[in-house]
Structures are given as structure tokens and as C-alpha cells.
């Protein structure tokens, strides 16, 4: 769904951005839409990367407890997810990938 909706929203926002007769409320709406789109895009990237971490662990035969799975899926920091993916590619256990929560 996101793949279909994103280009349409971008086109819509582009058209709105070209209208010079916008009042302050319309400009605020457009900025809110851009922010929402960026947040959605970031969440989508994080979800994809989290799924990559879980896939790597699965194909390597590393068991992932439910609590750790939830933690991976909830992570929004793309850099941390990338680090976990790199670690998962050579890990022998889930402990080699995910540090214990403090």
C-alpha cells in the first residue's frame, strides 16, 4: 500500500507547494503533511531493516525470544538496526547481536 500511496502523496504535495495563493492555515497543513510523510518513510525504513535483522537470524538458525523480537521490531534507530544486522551476519547467538537492555 505504501508503495502505491507515497508517489501519489508526493505529487499532491508538490502541486500544493506550487500554489502561491496559500494562506497560513494551508501552509501549515502542507508542512504537517510533509512531516507525516517523512515520519512514515522513516518508520518504513526501520521496519524493513528490523525484518532484515530477523531474517538474518532465522536463516542462520539463531533463536529469537519473543521479547527480543519485539525489541527489534520496535527499534526506530536506523544506525542501531544496521549494527544489529551486521552482527547477525556473523553471530553465534542472539546475545552476540543484541546487547542486554540497561
Chunked into runs of 10 residues, the chain (102 residues) has average pLDDT values of: 66 66 75 75 84 96 96 94 95 89 48
**pLDDT at site 102:** 44
Judged by DSSP in three states, 65 sits in coil
* Residues 30/61, Cβ–Cβ less than 8 Å: no
Integer-rounded Cα radius of gyration of the chain: 19
Residue 10: CB atoms within 10 Å: 12
**CA 57, CA 15: separation in Å to the nearest integer?**
44
Q: What is the pTM of this model?
A: 0.64
C-alpha cell at 1: 500500500
Amino acid at each position: 500500500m505504501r508503495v502505491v500511496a507515497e508517489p501519489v502523496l508526493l505529487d499532491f504535495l508538490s502541486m500544493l507547494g506550487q500554489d502561491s495563493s496559500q494562506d497560513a492555515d494551508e501552509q501549515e497543513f502542507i508542512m504537517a503533511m510533509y512531516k507525516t510523510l517523512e515520519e512514515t518513510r522513516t518508520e518504513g525504513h526501520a521496519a524493513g531493516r528490523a525484518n532484515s535483522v530477523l531474517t538474518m537470524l532465522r536463516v542462520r538458525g539463531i533463536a529469537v525470544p519473543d521479547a527480543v523480537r519485539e525489541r527489534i521490531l520496535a527499534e526506530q534507530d536506523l544506525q542501531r538496526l544496521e549494527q544489529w544486522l551486521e552482527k547477525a551476519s556473523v553471530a553465534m547467538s542472539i546475545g552476540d547481536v543484541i546487547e542486554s537492555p540497561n
